[in-house]
Amino acid sequence: EALEPLLGDGRIVAMHDLNNVARAFSVSIGKIDENDYIVSFTDISATMTEKMDLSNKVTHDKLTGALNREFFENNLRDIVNNLESSHSLGLAILDIDFFKKVNDDYGHLAGDVVLKELTKLVTLSIRKKDFFIRWGGEEFILLIESESILSLKRALEHVRQRIERNFFSEVGTITCSFGATLHIVGEDMDATLQRADKALYIAKENGRNQVQIEQ
């Protein structure tokens, strides 16, 4: 009775096999008479795995595993709409300080390792409802649900300090500069990005390894 009104993906369920491995099944329902049904389960685990792998490739950066621009563009509206009513979307551009020197001194393969390790570190330093996106090269974007400018700065300072204190396997220590702002309801996201970029410029001009916020 619960499944009968559902269509498509609504009729996909998960069950654990004898080895406690979750498998996906598509449920088909046929009504025989008023009180009797035939319910059949088709194992679609392989298909679902392929679908998830493809989705992951489309929305994640190949090198680092961070989310990518396509994810940002396709999901931004939903992210904004799903914010708690009293919260705003904080947007920060994160740039690795002197990353060209990393590549020049240690090589591009070492630079790639830094990008991967940074992605892992930042992902562990933010909440599950926040988003870490590779924007291009050594630039990343953080989308953080925030109550205020103060809470946004506090969250970014936490990330900045985690990076500053971390030992990266190929190069030792690195630092990052952050430019951030709060998205204004109804504002074009390009305007939000421009404010964050302006704040990042100020952070770099003021000596790097800091958080600057443009209101």
Distance CA 196, CA 183 (A): 10
Beta strands in the chain (DSSP E): 12-16, 22-31, 37-43, 88-96, 131-136, 139-146, 176-182, 211-213
Q: Catalytic residue, from 138, 164, 205, 214: name it.
A: 138
Work out whether strand 131-136 and strand 139-146 pair parallel, antiparallel, or are unpaired.
antiparallel
Is 164 a known active-site residue? no
Contact 209, 157 (CB under 8 A): no
Distance CA 30, CA 46 (A): 25
Own/partner pairs, 203-210, CB within 8 angstroms, 24+ separation: 203/177, 203/178, 203/179, 204/95, 204/177, 208/97, 208/98, 208/175, 208/177, 209/97, 209/160, 209/164, 209/175, 209/176, 209/177, 210/160, 210/177, 210/178
Active site residues: 138
